[in-house]
Amino acid sequence: MKPVSIKSLLVCSLCTWVLVASAQAQEGSAADGVAPDPAEADASGVVTGVLVNELMQEIGKLSGYRVHSPLPHISQVPHDVLAAHACSGPCRVVKAAYVPGEGIYIEDKLDPEHSKMDRSIVLHELVHYLQEQSGKFADLGPCARNREEELEAYSLQNAYLASLGSGLPMFLSRNSFRCD
């Protein structure tokens, strides 16, 4: 994989860079700090509070993060709305993004209630939320912070996918990031 200059990544530094082969691609009641009643869960593809709570518990098991409330707000939106919130220009690859102070935006085509891969994308963004809440990488410069946050989020996402028995890992190499 050709290294990507961090300058181009910073344009979309809040984007989730989904680097999956096309064969691996695609297999609400948003969480706004209060998990909805499990009876409110539906099959329409929205991210329910029940699912968010389950993913936060998984992150807690897989990492040293202390999972706590409030949960971030999660909005399922069309791609152009997601790109407008996450990037300062067009983002062709972004499927989801955590935007500090706003919450998590996920593309409306994702179905995390039924797709393991899509669920792992939400988990990845929840990791970014916990990174910000913990201040774990706050002492690093912007480039190094972005690199370390993404590497950790992908690592936890891969661990989660492995725990589900998925043979579709996400891939991001430390060599994919250069800080010029």
How many Å apart are CA 55 and CA 37, to the nearest integer? 16
What 8-state DSSP symbol labels residue 114?
A: T
Of 43 and 98, the one with more pLDDT: 98
Of 44 and 144, the one with more pLDDT: 144
- Give me the pLDDT at residue 173, please: 62
- Beta-carbon contacts of 59 under 8 Å, excluding residues fewer than 6 positions away, are 65, 67, 123, 126, 127, 130, 156, 160
∠ CA 170-74-7, nearest 5°, is 50
- Give me the pLDDT at residue 86, please: 85
Place of tokens 């690859």: 93
Of the pLDDT bands very low, low, confident and very high (cuts 50, 70, 90), residue 178 is confident
- Give me the pLDDT at residue 13, please: 36
- The answer to whether the CB of 116 falls within 8 A of the CB of 26 is no
The whole-number average pLDDT for the span 3-15 is 33
- The answer to whether the CB of 106 falls within 8 A of the CB of 122 is yes
Mean pLDDT computed over every residue of the chain: 75
Query: Per DSSP, what are the bridge partners of residue 94?
Result: 17
The structure's pTM equals 0.74
User: Model confidence over 117-143: pLDDT tens digits?
Assistant: 999 999 999 999 999 999 999 999 999
User: Model confidence over 15-54: pLDDT tens digits?
Assistant: 333 332 222 333 333 333 333 333 333 333 468 889 999 9
Of the pLDDT bands very low, low, confident and very high (cuts 50, 70, 90), residue 180 is low
72: number of CA atoms within 13 Å, CB side?
27
